Amino acid sequence: MPRGLMTTSPTHMRQLLITCAELISQLDFSSARRLISLLSSKSSPFGDSTERLTHQFVKALSLRLNNPNPSSSAALTTAATAAASSSSNYLLLEEEDDNNNEEALHSCYLTLNQITPFIRFSHLTANQAILEAIDSSHHSIHILDFDIMHGVQWPPLMQALTDRSYNSDRTVQHPPPMLRITATGHSLALLLKTGDRLLKFANSLGLAFHFHPLVLNDAVRPSDIISPSTLGLLPNEALAVNCVLYLHTLVTDDSRELSLFLRKIKSLNPKVLTIANKEANHNHPLFFNRFVEALEHYGAVFDSLEATLPPNSRERQAVEDVWMGREIRDVVGAEEGRRRQRHEKYETYWEVMLRRAGFENVALSPFALSQAKLLLRLHYPSEGYQLRIINDSFFLGWQNRPLFSVSSWH
């Protein structure tokens, strides 16, 4: 296509990206490379949402063409170092250490938590489900949290548990419960840092707290640790299991491991299982279908960032380059067993898998809905964010496209 005939409207740019993916799926690599060169000249990490989206997808398509085993770039750590600057006092307890890529990604996660409502929405809604499932009569609460990251979900829950032990006149109605968190992750050092920060926060509230880290790796699968003895479950504890933005990591071409994981969780008889997932099908076996789905999902995310953040936002650049760029490269550039971002949609996949494992959906409460609406109104006041209820679960999206779902099960 001659350069002079090319328009740069968002619709046309996205259609060119789809054409490029179609050429790759047809193994017409020479035509795909020519189109990538053209798209690259019309993209920029500093432009509007379409130019930035194109920039990330061009990088992913280039990796697919030039590298049979694309991996996450470890060179993008510098942009993530600004992640902790906008965090709360709790997060400032964290020591900055970007010596490895995982730490940089975790730092960028903090920025993502600040500039988009998706993680806060997931945490807030899951916490409310836990509070409602475990009432104030329980003296000991145990939370099993898969992939705790920096633990930003739990200080608000600690505060809520402490607050409800008081009467309206702030006299003690009953002692706050003891809280135990068993947390999984891939780095013991990061888990210990998270545990230390949570302990300091709990101490500031006068809340009895214990933290138990569990490291998962290639030799220790998530289903391996799910037993009363490994978790140290006590007879008088109320158990909550939390899987926020985690279950997609267990999705493979063979669903047996995920099914085993869910059945083992069910065997623990938790008071509640809280789940949050991206609302996208990034696990389609055909590259072209997966590409189109990813382009629509991340296109909506980039549009939301364009509408809610000022031009030249360094925080947005860090999130798009380090976090979302990594995800896009995985969905688009990786193949077969190398892919990790295997998101599935709630109604067609997760609801089916959970019911098959014996779980029943618990309707999220009107108060949880009010909280989520208040969060959007106070911190992300844009009419573009849409909150819906489908099958007793919450869906947060941009314009007419759902992007994240949160549900509660027992």
DSSP string for residues in 288-300: HHHHHHHHHHHHH
How far apart (Å, rounded) are the C-alpha atoms in residues 223 and 361? 22
The answer to whether residue 86 scores a pLDDT higher than 70 is no
Q: Give the pLDDT of residue 166.
A: 77
What is the C-alpha separation between 405 and 385, in angstroms, rounded? 13
Domains and CATH numbers, the chain: 3-79+288-338 (no CATH), 117-279+345-409 (3.40.50.150)
pLDDT at position 5, please?
39
Residue 100 has pLDDT above 50, yes or no: no
**Which residues have a Cβ under 8 Å from the Cβ of 133 and sit 6 or more positions away?**
240, 271, 272, 362, 408, 410
Residue 271, pLDDT score: 97
Q: Which two tokens stand for residue 76?
A: 């993008």
What is the per-residue pLDDT for 102?
Answer: 67
Residue found under tokens 């007879």 = 235
Cα gap 253→353, rounded to integer Å: 14
Residue 224 exposed, middle or buried by CB count within 10 Å (0-12, 13-18, 19+): middle
Nearest C-alpha neighbor of 145 from the set 243, 5, 65, 60: 243
pLDDT-derived band at 381, boundaries 50, 70, 90: confident
pLDDT in the model for residue 222: 94
User: Vertex 271, ends 265 and 275: CA angle to 5°?
Assistant: 60
Looking at per-residue pLDDT, the higher value among 20 and 96 belongs to 20
142-168 per-position pLDDT tens digit:
999 999 999 999 999 999 999 998 776
Q: Which residues have a Cβ under 8 Å from the Cβ of 31 and sit 6 or more positions away?
A: 23
Tell me the per-residue pLDDT of 301-326, one tens digit each, with 9 for 90 and over: 999 999 989 878 999 998 999 899 99
Q: What was the pLDDT predicted at 169? A: 62
The per-residue pLDDT for range 257-304, each reduced to its tens digit, is 999 999 999 999 999 999 999 999 999 989 999 999 999 999 999 999
Provide mean pLDDT across the span 227-244.
Answer: 94
pLDDT at 89: 42
Give ∠ CA 210-365-375 in degrees, rounded to 5: 75
- Mean pLDDT (whole number) for 10-25: 95
- Among 83-87, 250-254, 394-398, the least confident range: 83-87
Tokens representing 383 are 């009419």
Q: Which of 7-16, 115-124, 332-341, 349-358 has the lowest mean pLDDT?
A: 332-341
CA distances from 42 to 64, 301, 320, 382 (A): 20, 20, 18, 28
Give the per-residue pLDDT at 337: 67
**pTM for this model (two decimals):** 0.88
Q: Please, are residues 172 and 199 in contact by the beta-carbon 8 Å criterion?
A: no
Confidence of residue 136 (pLDDT cuts 50, 70, 90): confident
How much helix, strand and coil, in percent to the nearest 5, is found in the chain? 50, 15, 35
C-alpha–C-alpha distance, residues 280 and 341, integer Å? 10
Assess contact for 357 and 250: CB atoms under 8 A: no
What pLDDT shows up at residue 76? Answer: 30
How much is the mean pLDDT over the chain?
87
